[in-house]
Structure 1
Amino acid sequence: MDSDDAPFDPARHLRYWQRCMRTLLPHQYTAADSTRMMLGCFCVAATDVLTQVSDQSILTAHDRETFREWVLACQHPGGGFVGGPTHTYSRAVYAGFDFDRGLPETGAPGEANIAATLFAMQLLALLAHSDDKNGEPIEKQRECAFFGVDRDSTLRWLQQLQRPDGSFGEYVAYVPDVQTLGGRRKVVGGGADMRYCYIAAMIRWMLGGGGHTGVLDIDVYALVQHIRQGQTYDGGFAESSTHESHAGYAFCAIAALELLGRSADGDPTSSLSSLDLFTRGIADMTALLRWLVARAFLYSPKSEDDSNVEWQESMVTEVTTMETCGDTPLLACNGRCNKHADSCYTWWTVATLSILERRGYGLGGGSEMNRDDWLAKRRFLLGKMQHHIGGFSKVPGGPPDVYHAYLSMAALASQNEATLKTFDSAMCVSKETVRTIEAARHGLLREVGEAGERRRADLLSLGAACWGKKAYSEA
């Protein structure tokens, strides 16, 4: 590693995330109140990635129990989770609701949304185990991570979010329509956003969708076809082939294909590898790789002659190769053509390329060139985006924020930063958390099939022992 690289200080970053969890966030976050589940997930996931196996977690047993109660309080009786406890009523209010028919016609039942559901599930996995939890083995605690989650209702709700064209929306709602029998019709809210497709694939994999019960699975092939139609003329991905390509959408498309082909208990698509799905879902792999590489450019600090320019950008092309960039080049990334750098785009591009490379779609040119490329990007993140109080900023010289701080750290972890836990790029959490998700899914599936009632009773007892809360026996 080059001697002039700015160091990554895990202790400083851990203090930053501890402040985010323990104190009020700055007033600029007020507008994000409806996405409180996301903020909480990023904070807890960041401390997980920063805490090595031998280190003591900053989360106490009481923290885990309290946070877990908060997450489960956001579960919607109709399936899924809401963004915060103020977005749903107490369970007693829903006693007369028919969520399949959208009744009653008056009153707001509260709406679960797909993003909050994902972050809630990940939070439950992140909160699953603690070395001082009543002496229970960690594996037993992991198996109870999804205890209290209504798997079938969530999978039924997820299936309703898919449109006929294969895309996914954010939530289900009923709106007045005089031309429809009953005067109301069901609509899937939210745009045809590639992020929702990725999140749907994540939730499905986490809950083992597609097997074990009579719950209808999503239409996997329609989703793959929708992803394929999102590739644009320049090789990137967008909401559709007629929209502007975006690095975030490219990641969501590739990670969704990876997860749809990732084996899970009872998953009927397990016979299809990710390579098969990549072939079905990506029309032009060469163009995609070329477009992803083109997101990187040379960063040059502002000089005295550039008073009206925030920072200089220079595309790295076949003419401007890494060999001609000097001894310590800085490589930044943008998400769209002719846009400024943003720290999160380093994550979107690096993570996408790493998923493709693991599946055999490498860039070629030798590992040493790829290593130099990553070191230049790492140098930019740590030297220009890392903040002195911890965290990472969106742009050079800006303040740190929860979103960009976590994704910048995710980029470092995905490239095996020495002081961070190993990372699962497709799931955007540590591999240890992914193992917890797999164990938690197994715990849920133990309730299915013959002797399911007895297994459920066993799991209830195990959950009460792990969490010390008899209230979960009624969940």
Structure 2
Amino acid sequence: MSSDDSPLDNARHLRYWQRCLRTLLPHQYTANDSTRMMLGCFCVAATDVLSTQKGAEPVISARDRKAFRAWVLACQHPGGGFVGGPTHAYPRAVYAGFDFGGGSVDTGAPGEANIAATLFALQLLALLANPADGERSEDKKSEDQKREGAFLGVNRDATLRWLRRLQRPDGSFGEYVADVPDARAAGGRRPVVGGGADMRYCYIAAMIRWMLGGGVDTSVPDINVDALVLYMRRGQTYDGGFAESSTHESHAGYAFCAIAALELLGRPAEGDPATALSSSENGRDLFARGIADVPALLRWLAARTFLYRPEIEEDDDAEWQESIVTEVTPLEVCGNSPLLGFNGRCNKHADSCYTWWTVSSLNILERHGYGYGLKDKESKDNWAAKRRFLLEKMQHHIGGFSKVPGGPPDIYHAYLSLAALASQGESSLKAFDPAMSVSLDTVRTIEAARRGLLRGQGEGGQKRRANLLSLGKACWGETIAIKA
């Protein structure tokens, strides 16, 4: 879906992302030094979703892909999971003798893998294994083998055990596990789950579990899915939205995280999500158990849409007023060529990332059978007004997208704006999976990489793992530090 009067300039955006990958970021990113894995993932994922021109020179060369892959694997923590950057874990020699699996008290202070970095690391490994359009081989078997080696070097069992340790008794997930001094505990130390308790970590946990095949084999304990679903259900508030708890303020980002997590918890391991989910009884059951009031949630999401009026937005002294425009308001009410923006909370200004959170939430709900039943023309006209808002007010002249009209582009809002456009079928972008927040091409790589990992489980697994190790060295080069 596209519009001639509001084009998406792919070439300009690719140049923006190349600058982000190859040069020093502006000083404003200094505070994000601990989240390098996230920044890297967004940059590579953006180039992936923009790279649709057949035969074009790859944005990321094969040499750089190998170097990026080595950097990601260097951030893997021996106790499971990944850290946000190479400086967030101790040198390998420090971990000699640590018993991460047993969780004994002599583990000391091992540095901290965190749940967000682990997700972005796994997605990066899959993105880097995607065959570039300019490097695609005629031998499909060779491409499939490279995809299957994407997670080579990932300690699946340790990561899934670590993920299990992040879950609290109430079903929520934390960000990291740390040992803290406690004179009353055996050995003088005890483990604690750190970080907040909200829908973001629930969503990330569901993503990691699906990517690594959690719950597939009994050798690794699965997370408590029932407790997680119940925790998310308790996060729906009086107005229909989702928050950290029922007594907190609703937020579109939290709503998306809860909705996408429920889909992933019930998603089959293989197959096109758009067709496999609508007939999945398990998926429908999880939505029924995880969302107390679906109609109220739909109404709340619809109310995030409002008519953008520049004369009000650009006057700092003007009182903020929400419009009556909602997801189902006929465009005749809005006038000619309206711009429809989104806010993520009541009485907030338009923000580009809220287009993603809200539109993707509605996309996922609709493909599970929950929607407004809009006619095809109504749906297209409605999205066209939202698309114009992104491309006319948020698309920056140097590439990327800004948070608000007139602002500078940034990595976070630039990627989520592309994601919103791709999830709605933008013709110049790759097909997109809203629940996984990456292209469908990357989801296929994740599925293949999971198959490669699971071949190492059970009888005969060691031999298959050795074969996969040899394959990985052939794909990525002998200089890459990988383990069976």
TM-score, shorter chain, exceeding 0.5? yes
What is the CA distance between 1:105 and its match in structure 2? 6.2
Whether the aligned pair in 2 keeps the contact of 1:464 and 1:472 (CA below 8 Å) is no
Whether the aligned pair in 1 keeps the contact of 2:320 and 2:347 (CA below 8 Å) is no
What is the CA distance between 1:211 and its match in structure 2? 1.9
Distance 2:41 2:363 in 1: 23
CA change 1:318–1:114 in 2 (3 A) is closer
**Alignment correspondent of 1:142:** 147
Q: Deviations over 1:60-98 (max 9, x none)?
A: 110100000000000000000000001012222211222
Whether the aligned pair in 2 keeps the contact of 1:36 and 1:83 (CA below 8 Å) is yes
| 3-state SS of paired residue (1:314) | coil
**Alignment correspondent of 1:386:** 395
Deviates more, 1:456-465 or 1:53-62: 53-62
Whether the aligned pair in 2 keeps the contact of 1:460 and 1:472 (CA below 8 Å) is no
Count of matched residue pairs: 471
What is the CA distance between 1:363 and its match in structure 2? 1.1
1:367 aligns with 2:376: yes
1:293 aligns with 2:302: yes
Residue type of the alignment partner of 1:101: G
| 3-state SS of paired residue (1:463) | helix
1:20 aligns with 2:25: no
**Alignment correspondent of 1:117:** 118
Distance 2:262 2:401 in 1: 29
Whether the aligned pair in 2 keeps the contact of 1:74 and 1:85 (CA below 8 Å) is yes
Whether the aligned pair in 1 keeps the contact of 2:172 and 2:228 (CA below 8 Å) is yes
CA change 1:466–1:368 in 2 (3 A) is same
Alignment of 1:336-415 (within 5 A): 336-415=345-424
Question: Over the residues paired in the alignment, what is the CA RMSD in angstroms?
Answer: 2.4
CA change 1:73–1:2 in 2 (3 A) is closer
Distance 1:121 1:308 in 2: 46
Distance 2:177 2:345 in 1: 31
TM-score (norm 1): 0.94
| 3-state SS of paired residue (2:306) | strand
Distance 1:65 1:344 in 2: 31
**Alignment correspondent of 2:427:** 418
**Alignment correspondent of 1:164:** 169
Alignment of 1:57-136 (within 5 A): 57-99=58-100, 100-101=102-103, 103-104=105-106, 106=108, 108-130=109-131, 132=135
> In the alignment, which of 242, 249, 253 is matched to residue 237 of structure 1?
242
Residue type of the alignment partner of 2:44: V
CA change 1:311–1:328 in 2 (3 A) is farther
Whether the aligned pair in 1 keeps the contact of 2:150 and 2:445 (CA below 8 Å) is yes
Residue type of the alignment partner of 2:34: S
What is the CA distance between 1:117 and its match in structure 2? 0.1
1:222 aligns with 2:227: yes
> In the alignment, which of 160, 182, 188 is matched to residue 155 of structure 1?
160
Distance 2:328 2:360 in 1: 26
**Alignment correspondent of 2:9:** 9
Whether the aligned pair in 2 keeps the contact of 1:302 and 1:311 (CA below 8 Å) is no
Whether the aligned pair in 1 keeps the contact of 2:81 and 2:162 (CA below 8 Å) is yes
Whether the aligned pair in 1 keeps the contact of 2:303 and 2:327 (CA below 8 Å) is no
Deviates more, 1:51-60 or 1:211-220: 51-60
Whether the aligned pair in 1 keeps the contact of 2:105 and 2:190 (CA below 8 Å) is no
Q: Deviations over 1:42-68 (max 9, x none)?
A: 000000000016133211110100000
Distance 1:390 1:309 in 2: 30
**Alignment correspondent of 1:37:** 37
What is the CA distance between 1:302 and its match in structure 2? 1.9
> Sequence identity of aligned pairs in percent?
72
Distance 1:307 1:237 in 2: 30
Q: Deviations over 1:226-254 (max 9, x none)?
A: 11111000000011111111000000000
What is the CA distance between 1:271 and its match in structure 2? 7.8
Distance 2:418 2:164 in 1: 33
CA change 1:271–1:412 in 2 (3 A) is closer
What is the CA distance between 1:16 and its match in structure 2? 0.3
What is the CA distance between 1:213 and its match in structure 2? 4.3
Deviates more, 1:360-369 or 1:419-428: 360-369
Q: Deviations over 1:327-383 (max 9, x none)?
A: 201100000111111100000000000011111111123222221111111010000
Alignment of 1:292-311 (within 5 A): 292-302=301-311, 306=315, 308-309=317-318
Whether the aligned pair in 1 keeps the contact of 2:151 and 2:453 (CA below 8 Å) is yes
Deviates more, 1:169-178 or 1:200-209: 169-178
Distance 1:338 1:379 in 2: 22
1:460 aligns with 2:461: no
What is the CA distance between 1:129 and its match in structure 2? 3.8
Whether the aligned pair in 2 keeps the contact of 1:384 and 1:396 (CA below 8 Å) is yes
**Alignment correspondent of 1:333:** 342
Residue type of the alignment partner of 1:43: C
Whether the aligned pair in 1 keeps the contact of 2:99 and 2:107 (CA below 8 Å) is no
Deviates more, 1:426-435 or 1:2-11: 2-11
Distance 2:119 2:247 in 1: 28
**Alignment correspondent of 1:261:** 266
Whether the aligned pair in 2 keeps the contact of 1:118 and 1:203 (CA below 8 Å) is yes
Distance 1:256 1:461 in 2: 35
Distance 2:327 2:35 in 1: 42
What is the CA distance between 1:312 and its match in structure 2? 6.5
Residue type of the alignment partner of 1:48: D
What is the CA distance between 1:321 and its match in structure 2? 4.2
What is the CA distance between 1:304 and its match in structure 2? 11
| 3-state SS of paired residue (2:193) | strand
Whether the aligned pair in 1 keeps the contact of 2:321 and 2:347 (CA below 8 Å) is no
What is the CA distance between 1:449 and its match in structure 2? 1.1
Whether the aligned pair in 2 keeps the contact of 1:330 and 1:380 (CA below 8 Å) is yes
**Alignment correspondent of 1:323:** 332
Distance 2:446 2:313 in 1: 52
1:435 aligns with 2:436: no
| 3-state SS of paired residue (2:32) | helix
Q: Deviations over 1:240-293 (max 9, x none)?
A: 11111100000000000000000127xxxx985211110010100000000000
> In the alignment, which of 174, 178, 181 is matched to residue 176 of structure 1?
181
Whether the aligned pair in 2 keeps the contact of 1:233 and 1:241 (CA below 8 Å) is yes
TM-score (norm 2): 0.92
| 3-state SS of paired residue (2:81) | coil
Whether the aligned pair in 1 keeps the contact of 2:302 and 2:328 (CA below 8 Å) is no
Residue type of the alignment partner of 2:103: R
Deviates more, 1:270-279 or 1:113-122: 270-279
Residue type of the alignment partner of 1:15: R
